[in-house]
């Protein structure tokens, strides 16, 4: 019977199509999960690692306190930084136009005030 054979072939084709579709869905889900996992790793590496809890050895020693400030103490001996001053060559270059002046026929008349 040709009709029975056609139905069997149709069922086989539909089963193959469904299997291929399911395989595509599985591959897509795995790919998306991998992409999300990689993004999480990049975000996790962007921050410094967390500090662990202090060990018993550190808790037994007294905590270090900052040095006390003394009024009238020593001042740094290095000179204070000076503000930046441009060279004389660069000052003159800033006033020069970047482009040559346009020809007179391309210059529009000045705008009149109302």
**Is residue 80 one of the residues assigned to a domain?**
no
**Is residue 76 one of the residues assigned to a domain?**
no
Cα separation, 15 vs 21, whole angstroms: 10
Q: Name the domain count of the chain.
A: 1
**Is residue 9 one of the residues assigned to a domain?**
yes
**Is residue 25 one of the residues assigned to a domain?**
yes
**Is residue 85 one of the residues assigned to a domain?**
no
Q: Note the pLDDT tens digit of each residue in 29-82.
A: 999 998 888 776 555 555 666 676 665 555 555 556 666 666 766 766 677 777
**Is residue 12 one of the residues assigned to a domain?**
yes
Structural domain harbouring 41: 1-46
Summary mean pLDDT of the chain: 76
DSSP 43-112: HHHHSPPPP----HHHHHSPPP-PPPP-TT-PPP-SPPPPPP---HHHHHHHHS-SSPPPPGGGPPPPPP
In the numeric block, the tokens 């400030």 are attached to 69
**Is residue 28 one of the residues assigned to a domain?**
yes
DSSP 11-25: HHHHHHHHHHHHHHH
What's the whole-model pTM score?
0.34
**Is residue 99 one of the residues assigned to a domain?**
no
* Dihedral sign (CA 83, 84, 88, 92): negative
């Amino acid at each position: 019977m040709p009709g029975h054979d056609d139905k069997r072939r149709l069922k086989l084709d539909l089963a193959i199509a469904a299997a291929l579709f399911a395989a595509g869905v599985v591959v897509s889900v795995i790919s998306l999960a991998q992409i999300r996992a990689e993004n999480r790793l990049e975000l996790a590496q962007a921050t410094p690692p967390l500090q662990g809890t202090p060990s018993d050895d550190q808790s037994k020693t007294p905590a270090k306190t900052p040095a006390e400030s003394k009024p009238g103490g020593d001042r740094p001996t290095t000179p204070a930084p000076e503000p930046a001053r441009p060279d004389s060559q660069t000052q003159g270059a800033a006033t020069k136009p970047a482009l040559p002046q346009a020809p007179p026929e391309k210059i529009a008349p000045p705008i009149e005030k109302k």
